[in-house]
Amino acid sequence: MLPRLAFEKLLKWKDLKNRKPLVIRGARQVGKTTLVREFGKEFDNFIELNLERPENTRLFELENTEKILNAIYLQKNIKIKSGNTLLFIDEIQENPKAIQHLRYFFEDRPDLFVVAAGSLLEFALAKIPNFPVGRVDYLFLHPINFEEYLSALQLENLLDAIKQIPVPDYAHQIIKNHFHDYALIGGMPALLNEYLEKQGVISLHSAYLKLWQAYKDDAEKYARNKTERRIIRHVIETAPFEFDRIKFERFGNSNYRSREVGEALRALDQARVIRIIYPSTSVKLPLSIDFKKRPRLQFLDTGLWNHAIGIQAEMIHVSDLDQIHRGRIIQHLVAQEIESKFLDSQFKTHFWVRQEKDSNSEVDILYPFEKYLIPIEVKSGSSGTLRSLHQFIDRCEHSFAVRFYSGPFKIEQTKTTTKKLFTLINIPYYLATQLDHYLTKYIPA
């Protein structure tokens, strides 16, 4: 199994005294099943049920926990040994009764370790009136991030280097080269495994093609009727080519209305394939989202997006990722990396906008940290050209900002165009997963 940071979370959950059933959420193909199977090796007994199989889903027609468990043991021809037992219920979204029964595992059999997973859980949860809130815990699984990528390549020295603050100067270019490869490949576990076996990204073309087609075929499951199915297909085929903030009306050069496109995008957002990222006008916490302003899109995985828009060959010869599509690719990847660190809660990056009669400003990412709302730009260029960042700093109550770029780490004391002094923390692209550590070190509590 590829190394996953989530495995450590599972081990901690295993040791909890008041442990609840754990529901693993995430898009298809991010490695949920593989992760739990590996985790199952930590137990004396491991039982796996896939609820896409009718004989397994029928087990939850029984009325109480003990009968369900006895039926599982009988069907699987399992004689439970002494010690701890992990029950893994995969594709649990296929049976609402199984989801509802999680609370009874918690109440009736606290000695049993129960993990459930599903790729389209958001749709199922919305249809369950009595979901066991407070009776389950969650773990959110993302595509593999750069830390996990380095572990998969067994580059432990480089992994140690990115965890040093600041990263050593001598390591900068070496790590940057590996990050460029990661940006090209992406973080889908099956594709990364194939890359490691074949040692070449060009050989992955057919694998990318199959995976992207599988996501498009999944559109059938998000739609309620033929019309919705047709619109979702159009949206998922054209969305990768939208590099700026979008309009729902006539999306992708279509004749579809705003409401139809909005419903399709929200379905894909629930499936975690394409996320709708709305802006904010906030300069302090709490961060308020403006759903009336035009959003932008965030895709499940940058490597998959690279394939969908056909730019992987172009990226092989580029030394600065900020040169690709006006920096949108690296902005996308930095956001993906930041989000990958949130395993216990659902997290979306948002961006800042200021729209006035003769002036429009936009900061790439807003990041809540302690009592601050930190503005983050993802781009090259000198600090003096960060006009939108300056406008945010002029309006907020603190004086800290972050820029992710291709250069080495450095701290700058600089001024906005109105002469307000602020600290600009310049961080290499490849350290996005280390953001909290840098903010903790360089921003006073």
Q: What is the pLDDT of residue 194?
A: 86
Contact 122, 98 (CB under 8 A): no
Q: What is the pLDDT of residue 359?
A: 67
Is the pLDDT score of 358 beyond 70? no
Q: What is the pTM of this model?
A: 0.92
Could you give the CA distance from residue 131 to residue 100 in angstroms, rounded to a whole number? 6
Tally of CA atoms within 13 A in the half-sphere of 408 that contains its CB: 11
385: pLDDT confidence band, cut at 50, 70 and 90? Answer: confident
The one-letter amino acid code at 228 reads E
Domains parsed from the chain with CATH numbers: 6-140 (3.40.50.300), 146-339 (no CATH), 350-442 (no CATH)
39: pLDDT confidence band, cut at 50, 70 and 90? Answer: very high
Please name the residues in contact with 270: beta carbons below 8 A apart, sequence gap of 6 or more: 120, 122, 123, 126, 222
User: In the beta sheet, which residues pair with residue 402?
Assistant: 376, 425
DSSP 295-359: -EEEES-HHHHHHHTT-HHHHHT-S-GGGGGGGHHHHHHHHHHHHTT--SS----EEEEEEETTE
Task: Report the share of the chain in percent with pLDDT over 70.
Answer: 92
pLDDT winner (highest mean) among 211-215, 311-315, 335-339: 335-339
- pLDDT tens string 137-155: 999 999 999 999 999 999 9
Task: Report the share of the chain in percent with pLDDT over 90.
Answer: 67
Q: In what order do the strands lie in the sheet with 85-90?
A: 45-50, 85-90, 113-118, 22-25, 137-140
Out of 110-124, 161-175, 378-392, least confident range: 378-392
Nearest to 46 by CA among 54, 55, 37: 37
Q: Please give the mean pLDDT across all residues of the chain.
A: 90
Lookup: tokens for 12 = 């901690």
Give me the helices (H) in 77-185, please: 96-108, 121-126, 146-152, 156-162, 172-185
Lookup: tokens for 187 = 């973080």
Q: What is the pLDDT of residue 197?
A: 83
Tally of CA atoms within 13 A in the half-sphere of 328 that contains its CB: 16
